[in-house]
Structures are given as C-alpha cells and as structure tokens.
Structure 1
Amino acid sequence: MMDPDFTATSIARRVRAGTLTPVDAVDDALARIAARDPRLGAFVAVRGEQARAEAAAVSARPDLASLPLAGVPIAVKDNVPVAGHRLGNGSMASSAEPSEADHPVVARLRAAGAVVVGLTAVPELCVWAATDTPDAVTRNPWNPGITSGGSSGGSAVAVASGMVPAAHGADGMGSIRIPAAACGVFGIKPGRGVVPAELGVDSWFGMSENGPIATTVADAALLLSVMADRPDLADIEDPGRLRIAVSVRSPLPGVRVDPHWRAAAERAAAALGALGHHVATAPLPYPANPVPLLSRWTAGTAADAAGLDRALLQRRTRGHIAAGKVMRRWVNPAQVESVDRVLRRFFTDHDVVITPTLASVPIAAERWSDRSWLANLVANIRYAPFPSLWNFAGWPAASVPLGIHPETGTPLGVQIAAPPGGEARILAVAAQLESLLPWPRVAAV
C-alpha cells in the first residue's frame, strides 16, 4: 500500500519538526527492505547497524532543524564509492578492497542529513539496460517476469517497491530513465557539469551523470538540489506558457515503437496543451550515424575495465570491451559539437521536447549475463533507443510515469528533454504532468 508520508520531503519535514526520529525513519526502511527485497533483488548490500548508527549521529547534529534531507533513508547505486564498502560495479572482477572515501555526491547527500541504508544492484560495469548478474536477477515489482531496466535497476526497484523513498542513480546511456520508465518512477539525468560525475575513468567521455530516482517530482527535485549544491532546484515553479514539441518517431530505422508507448507521449502532450502550452508535432533530428555514440559507449567501458582480470568478466562484457578497443579511434569531440548545433537549431522553435521513454515493453527478466554481446546489444537497442541522444549531447532529460501498459500491467513513461540549463524547466513540466495525470507511486508488492 502507498504510504503518503513515505516520501523524502515528508520524512525530512517531520524529522526537522521533531515528530519523527532519523532512527525510526531508517528502521522503517530497513523493515521494508527485509520484507520485500528477497523477491526482487534490488540490493547488493544492506547497511543495517551502520545505517542505524549514522541515523543516531544525524539526530545529534546541531543543525538538524535546517537539514534538507534530515533523516531520509536513501539507497546508492553500486557504481560510486561509499566509504567502508567494496565498490562492486556489478562485477566479480572489481577490487574487494573497501572504498576509503565517499563519492562527492554521496558526501553531499550525507551532509544534507540523508542516511545510506544500502547499495543497489547494477549489471556488470553498468553497461546494460537489464540488471542481472550470474548470481541474481533484479526483478520489476510490477511484473517479476520483466526486467527492472538498467543500469540503475536496483535503485529503481528499491524506490518503486516502497523500500526507500528515493535513491541515487547514474545515467550513461539512459541508465536512470530506462529503469525509471520500466518501474513507474520519476528519474532525471541532469545536464553535463550540473552534478559531479566522476564515474569510472572519464564518465564514458562525458556521457554519464549522477541523478535522483523518486516516486514524486518534488522528492527528485529535492535530491537533485543537494546533489548539484543548487538549493533553488528544490523549488518547482510555474514554467509559464511553453513551446512543447512532441516527437514519437523511432530514433533508429527498423526499430518499431509500441503503440501504447507512443500514445503515452501523445497523451502527455495533449494534457499539457489543454493546460495552455503550445504543443506541436516536430520530429527530432536524430543523428543518422550511430558510430560516434556506440564508440563512446564501448570505448568508455574498455577504459573502465583497464586493469581488471579479463577472466573474471562476463562474456558479453568482454565482447563490449573488444569492440571498444577498436572503436576508440572514432571518438572525436567534434561529433558532439555537430549534434549540439543541430539540436540547438531545433530548440530555437521549442522549449522542451516530449518523446516516449522506451520503444516497447521492457525485455524479460532473465540472466542476460549468460548471453552473447550481440544478443544483449540488439535487445537493449530495440526496447530503449530513445534516451541515449541526451547522454551524447550532455543535455538534461527525465522520465515521467504515464499510465499502465494494458498487455503486461507494467508502467508506461514519457521522456522530457531540454537544452543545457533546463533542469528546472523539466521538473516544472513533470510536476504539471504529475498533477494532471497522477501515477500510482509504488507497485503493490
């Protein structure tokens, strides 16, 4: 059942007011994890007594009454350092040594009063759009037979099943927006430089960003404001009358868009048009050549894997790395500049664009780690071709839940993107959709 008080904003407000203690908030989250996670596999580590001790320390802070995330239990994706814990990154090849210090984003969340209750599952090296390892499959709380998405699949499941009110995610090829859409929660990838990245060697040549996943736009805005050290982002304001483009065509020839995912984007556009925005169909100018994007994805993974024991890596990942070593020669900053120029011309006539987040129902929840690189590549591209443009360009984009697929009972979602600096505008439009077309905040698990 949905608990209206189990949101980051509500928990922090009650802790600041003295009507809820951080320890009680953390105990509640830990109890939810113990009851629900065995069926879903969202967490790779639960911090139990450590989280309780840290919650008690938050209670004793002299600035408790001013902390934006006072006592809020959160989950952190297992691809950034958390002091005292092994950084697994979904791989047996990762070092067993615990991290000595928190990632800057984790440090900011803790400084704001949040308590890390656990680390969430990712596919190996965060490469894939389904979250599984040879040992476990992270399952969608709406339909356990369907993937949670990836690579922030564990974080999305932890939020969508009501185990934590909000979580950290990271997005290199749609890795926040894909699982957010699959699991029916809100997730936003900020634009380049808004939040400290420091993901892997070079954040996949600048394509990867840290961001929040939450059940409400207000919660995501609050986390993003802390991650970015931008308190203003927590205040969602009326965006005024916007010029909204809607583009439902597939980014890739031969990839079909499910009519229900297409209809979700059209329904969102119609609702915003009825609110007074100017809405127009305007096909996005997707790049015709996929090589610049694929070369960054594969070569970025190859850079992250340098020094790892190849024998301990999964077969699909070895294939990805091999491709990256060949394709590294085609990574050129001028490619991003060219796409940026084309997109800026498109946005001279539009303020934001709405697309489907996914092209079809997410793929099956199974051990994709046992399958070939090509099988993973094709499956990922067919169902999730929409998000990666915004990683390549370094522009902000979010996924907003919008309805339920009538055939699978899993959520539908729409993507909102805007030019650099458009995070506040995206949040404002998402909040309007949340008000106009509210979604069920958590799955019934």
Structure 2
Amino acid sequence: MTELFELTALDQWRALQRGDVSPTELTEHYLARIERLNPGLGAFVTVTADAARARARHVETEVAKTAPLWGLPFADKDLQLRAGVPARLGSRLMRDNIPETSDLLVQALDTAGGISLGKTNTPEFGLPSYTEPVAGSPARNPWNPEFGAGGSSGGAAVAVAARLLPFAPGSDGGGSVRIPAAASGLVGLKPSRGRIPAASGLDSPGGLPVAGPLARTVADAALLLDAMIAPAGGRPEHPFAVRAPGGEEQFLGAAVRGEGRYQLGVMTTSAWDDAYEISLAPEALAALEDAVTGFAAIGHGIEQTALTPDASYAPAFRALWQLSAARIPADTPEKEELLEPLTRWLMHRGRELSGRAVAEALTALAAYERSFIRQLSAYDAVLTPALALTPRPVGWYDAENGERNFAQQVQYTPFTSMINVCGLPAITLPVSQTADGLPMGVQLIGRPGGEATLLALGAQLERKLRWQDRVPPGL
C-alpha cells in the first residue's frame, strides 16, 4: 500500500479534492514523520503542531476547496515572519524574536489554503550557501547525514527530500533555493525578479532575493509557484510598477504538458572565473553530460557557448553581499558577540562601504545584467552545472576566516549568483547521483519571464530520467 508521503504533492492535492484524505489526516501524517525523523536531520527548527491541527480544521470548514493549495502542508523558512511564531533567523541574536505580524509571502500561502507545520532551518540571517547555524543543528543531507544540504533554504530542502513535507517555499538571493535543491536531489526554481508579488526582489538593493519552490517533481514546483503568484486563484495587485514580463498563464499546465522543442546553450563558464579558481568536479561534468544527452535525445538543439570574461562582477557582487549584512541589529559589543564570525565579517565590511562604492557596485551589476542577457539571447534556455562540486561535508567551511569562507562558497556555487544579479528565472534538476549516492544536478537559465519554458524542459527530462522515483536510504 502506498503511503501518503510517497505521493507527489500534486497527487496529494488530487486525493484531498476527491475526499480520499482530509487536511487533518494529511497534517497528522506529516507531523508524525517530523517527530520521528527530524531530530537526526535538522530540517525543522520549530514545529507548530497544535497550530497546524487548528489550521487544518479551519481549512476543512472555512476555506473553499478551489484554493490552489487546499489542505496541503508546507513550512515557512525561518527567515519569513509568521505572527506569534519564533523567527530566530538562524541567529542567537534573534532567539527572543516573536513577530506580531506575518510577511506577505506567509499571508499568500495561507490564502492559498496551505497548512504551515512550522519553521525550517536556515543559516544566520540566510547569508551563507550552507545551513550549519551555531544557534542550532546543521541541516543534514537525507542521502548521507555526514554531508550538508546547502543553503540558505537547507532546512526546506531536507524536509522535502526526507518526505517530511510534500514541498516547501524557500528564498533565493544568490542561489539559496537552487543550491540546496541540487544538493538534496530536488527540483528548485528561482523565478524572475518581480514574478511573485509577495517576494519580488524589487524592494532590496540590486533586486537579488526572490521566493521560490523546492519540490520532488517539476509539476509540484509549478503547483507551489502558481500559489505564490496568485494565492486566491487570481493575480493580486502587484506592489511595484516593474514586474516580470510574460502572460497570465498558470505554470502548472506548462509543467504537466511538458511540450515544445527548444534551442539550448550549454556552458561551464561563470561570472567568478576571473576572481577565483573554479574547478569542476568530474561528477558535475557527468551530470551536465547526462542532461545534454537527454535533451538531445528528446530533440532539442544543443550548442556550446561561453560568457565573455568580466572583471567587474566579483568586486561588485561582494560589495552588495556585504551591504546586505550592514543592517543586522547588532549595535552593541554584547550583541555583536552573539554573531558568527562570517556574519561579523560581512557586517563590518558592509558598514565600511561608502555611498560611492555602493552606487558603483549597483551600476556595475546593472551593466552586467544587460551584457549577460545579450550574450545568451540566441537561446531559449542555457544549461550549466548546478554546482561545481559534490555536496560538501558538514563542517567543511572555514568557520573563522570570512575571506576563506566566501571563497569556498564561490568555488562550490559559481553558477547561481549571476542569475540573481540578472533577475532571470532558473531551475535546478536532479539528473544524476555520484558513485556514493549523493545527488548531482544541472541548472537551466531562462529568458526574462521564461518560467514556462524551463518547466516544460524540466518536465520532459523528468519523464526520461525519472528522478522522482529515487528515495534516500532509510526513508
């Protein structure tokens, strides 16, 4: 007999619609799995079991079944604020932080009929691309707990890969959805800047961070994406004048149909190649070759391409990343002492930046965006490795030296941050595994507003490779 957690999110939604299972039953099913498996994995930092049960009863009686996520469990990343629930942001500094109001994304997922089961693990203030906060336990990879799950949406990735949730929302400011998805054997989608009204990226310097789904299948990612965009079944007011180009289509349809033939570029160059020594592991190249072979067999055009070197990118992105830490509320030596060394380093560097330096960084990255899009405009999508290396062991990153730590992050994840700078959509697909059974993936970069193309391509490759059938050992 098939267990509920074995079903895809879309199949669980269909079972809810048919009445084969109730929101309360599905919620209890996942709460039991979380209680049993989370202690060894570090996926959740807070489980709101009583609130989830009350919410499930409310959904059953008060929310229309037409709501796009009706009865489906999820969890908030611990960077998102939910009223009355601790929001520690992965930091000892925020251990007593209990917000009175919820973020717009949290409100959107509630409006969509979802049921939050708690908060998923994240690194301190979401700054690193791995999830090993001093304030709590590391997010351990379900495929091998000696390895990390990436970050900053590491807890969300562990929860989905371990079948503690059918899918999960994450946020992505430099790869924070795609990195943990790739490390954990999941589909991770970073939408276009401005695509999701509740988390558009347009309200932050450089427009880097947006929300996006982590899921086991392409269709499940599209199901959650549609709910993030239009939580009540219709597109809400957009709070910005600028938004992602494209129509009003629902993306689930593109993911389910998986139609079309496209021209794909393939590249192994990144924006960091001039600034750091970037070496691609054989496993990363093998995953890329698996994807190229699969797409060619389906009938897509394949062409090798490369980025023109641009020395302006690395210092400009570093400045913007440091700036993102400048507003951390550590205004006394006692508070600063609670921060991790990497966070302190980023915060001090960010506070040392002059207004001129920030303006020059923003100008450089805006020029890089135009150049990047122009260089790749001949392709419907561009294929890269998702990560340059295999998943990293827990404790691999230098916890004391900020410069060394930043370099390690770049060398592991050179292909992700440039997509945030350019505001483009991108999806990671878990195409293969290493000899030791660790996931390896690829990234598809889309044109502005090109999520539908990425979902169609992902669905086609998923049908061929069947990654959704892989299950971490012991689960």
TM-score (norm 1): 0.94
Equivalent-residue separation in structure 1 for 2:252 and 2:133 (angstroms): 36
Among 408, 414, 426, which residue is 2:454 paired with?
A: 426
Greater Cα shift, 112-121 or 268-277: 268-277
Deviation (angstroms), 1:368: 5.0
Residue identity opposite 1:43 in structure 2? F
Residues 1:12 and 1:198: Cα distance change in structure 2 (over 3 Å): closer
Contact 1:188 1:398 in 2 (8 A): yes
1:105 aligns with 2:105: yes
Equivalences for residues 322-401 of structure 1 within 5 A: 322-327=348-353, 329-332=356-359, 333-366=362-395, 370-401=399-430
1:359-378 per-residue CA deviation (whole Å, 9 max, x = no partner) reads 00122212858433233212
Equivalent-residue separation in structure 2 for 1:327 and 1:357 (angstroms): 31
1:277 aligns with 2:300: yes
Equivalent-residue separation in structure 2 for 1:390 and 1:352 (angstroms): 12
Greater Cα shift, 218-227 or 307-316: 307-316
SS of 2:93 mapped into structure 1:
coil
Deviation (angstroms), 1:108: 1.4
Equivalent-residue separation in structure 2 for 1:79 and 1:305 (angstroms): 15
Equivalences for residues 178-217 of structure 1 within 5 A: 178-196=179-197, 202-217=203-218
Equivalent-residue separation in structure 2 for 1:185 and 1:211 (angstroms): 13
Give 2:285's aligned residue: 262
1:84-104 per-residue CA deviation (whole Å, 9 max, x = no partner) reads 112211011126242222221
Greater Cα shift, 235-244 or 124-133: 235-244
Equivalent-residue separation in structure 2 for 1:222 and 1:324 (angstroms): 38
Deviation (angstroms), 1:18: 1.4
1:40 aligns with 2:63: no
SS of 2:62 mapped into structure 1:
coil
SS of 2:89 mapped into structure 1:
coil
Contact 1:177 1:399 in 2 (8 A): yes
Give 1:7's aligned residue: 8
Equivalences for residues 24-423 of structure 1 within 5 A: 24-61=25-62, 63-64=64-65, 66-94=66-94, 96-134=96-134, 135-196=136-197, 202-229=203-230, 232-236=250-254, 237-249=257-269, 251-253=272-274, 254-285=277-308, 287-289=310-312, 290-305=314-329, 309-327=335-353, 329-332=356-359, 333-366=362-395, 370-406=399-435, 408-423=436-451
Contact 2:181 2:187 in 1 (8 A): yes
Residues 1:368 and 1:106: Cα distance change in structure 2 (over 3 Å): same
Deviation (angstroms), 1:40: 0.6
Moved over 6 A (4+): none
Equivalent-residue separation in structure 2 for 1:365 and 1:400 (angstroms): 23
Deviation (angstroms), 1:428: 1.0
Identity %: 36
SS of 1:211 mapped into structure 2:
strand
Residues 1:197 and 1:312: Cα distance change in structure 2 (over 3 Å): farther
Give 1:19's aligned residue: 20
Greater Cα shift, 409-418 or 323-332: 323-332
Deviation (angstroms), 1:285: 3.7
Equivalent-residue separation in structure 2 for 1:197 and 1:383 (angstroms): 30
Equivalent-residue separation in structure 2 for 1:51 and 1:202 (angstroms): 31
Residue identity opposite 1:401 in structure 2? P
Residue identity opposite 1:357 in structure 2? A
Deviation (angstroms), 1:419: 1.8
- How large is the RMSD of aligned CA atoms in angstroms? 2.2
Contact 1:400 1:413 in 2 (8 A): yes
Residue identity opposite 1:28 in structure 2? H
SS of 1:87 mapped into structure 2:
coil
Residues 1:72 and 1:198: Cα distance change in structure 2 (over 3 Å): closer
Deviation (angstroms), 1:240: 2.0
Residue identity opposite 1:293 in structure 2? F
Residue identity opposite 1:428 in structure 2? A
1:150-174 per-residue CA deviation (whole Å, 9 max, x = no partner) reads 1100000000111101001001110
Residue identity opposite 2:264 in structure 1? I
Residues 1:227 and 1:62: Cα distance change in structure 2 (over 3 Å): closer
1:57-110 per-residue CA deviation (whole Å, 9 max, x = no partner) reads 10002512x122111111211001112112211011126242222221221111
Equivalent-residue separation in structure 2 for 1:168 and 1:304 (angstroms): 23
Equivalent-residue separation in structure 2 for 1:107 and 1:390 (angstroms): 27
Equivalent-residue separation in structure 1 for 2:28 and 2:3 (angstroms): 18
Contact 2:88 2:97 in 1 (8 A): no
Residues 1:420 and 1:2: Cα distance change in structure 2 (over 3 Å): farther
Contact 1:171 1:209 in 2 (8 A): yes
SS of 1:79 mapped into structure 2:
coil
Residues 1:369 and 1:38: Cα distance change in structure 2 (over 3 Å): farther
SS of 2:94 mapped into structure 1:
coil
Equivalent-residue separation in structure 2 for 1:321 and 1:387 (angstroms): 22
Equivalent-residue separation in structure 2 for 1:111 and 1:274 (angstroms): 42
Greater Cα shift, 191-200 or 245-254: 191-200
Residue identity opposite 1:235 in structure 2? G
Equivalent-residue separation in structure 2 for 1:369 and 1:158 (angstroms): 26
Number of residues of Structure 1 aligned to a counterpart in Structure 2? 443
SS of 2:250 mapped into structure 1:
helix
